[in-house]
Amino acid sequence: MVKYELTYFNGRGRAEVCRLLFATAGQPYTDTRIEQAEWPKLKPKMPQQTIPVLKIDGKTQVSQSLVIARYLAREFKMDGGSSLQALFVDEFVCTALDLFENYAKAAFSPNMEEDMKKFKSETLPKFYKLLDASISKNGKNGFAVGSSVTLADLYVYNVVESVGLDELKDYKNLKANRDKVESIDKIKKYLASRVKTPF
């Protein structure tokens, strides 16, 4: 069996989708969490001086969260059942990342209060409407693409948790997708035991 080690800060951040992938696949791995104070010493040892980093069988190391997530999704058969489905999975992932980028800009803006109001009233509804329509078009039984869990579901789930849960009530497909993800036994177990972290 392949041995995996995922290294990241003691937070959800850019590593959480990868953790969700491991949980969904039921794949054992070493979840190495470091504190911010440790980072300056560890940084030079990382392939691109960034984290998360995935180590495979104790030797191969790769960085970049999206690269790692796509690799794991392929390995765990969660990248879509066909090349066309994989295309739509990637579309969901990129849309979710665009949404989070807009959120981060507002959340860390010098005019945070004003920019967050605009994000909540304009940007968030626009993205939620797009995601809701895409789920209706591409998914079945609550899933985002096809009729089984994919990387698309996990990216959307993770981003929605960060940017706005209260607004979900107006988007039935997006809400159903979140409920579907949370109903998966392995994810349910992971969420129940997930460590509370600052971010």
The pLDDT tens digits for 150-175 are 999 999 999 999 998 888 999 999 99
Has residue 177 got a pLDDT over 90? yes
C-alpha to C-alpha distances, 59 to 4, 145, 177, nearest whole angstrom: 10, 34, 37
Report the share of the chain in percent with pLDDT over 90: 94
Has residue 116 got a pLDDT over 90? yes
Which SS3 state, helix, strand or coil, does residue 191 take? Answer: helix
Ramachandran category for residue 101: left, alpha or beta (phi over 0 → left; psi -120 to 50 → alpha): alpha
Compute the average pLDDT of residues 90-95. Answer: 98
Rounded CA gap, 93 and 159, in Å? 10
What is the structure's pLDDT at 164? 86
Q: Encode pLDDT of 128-149 as tens digits.
A: 999 999 999 999 999 999 999 9
Confidence of residue 77 (pLDDT cuts 50, 70, 90): very high
What is the structure's pLDDT at 148? 98
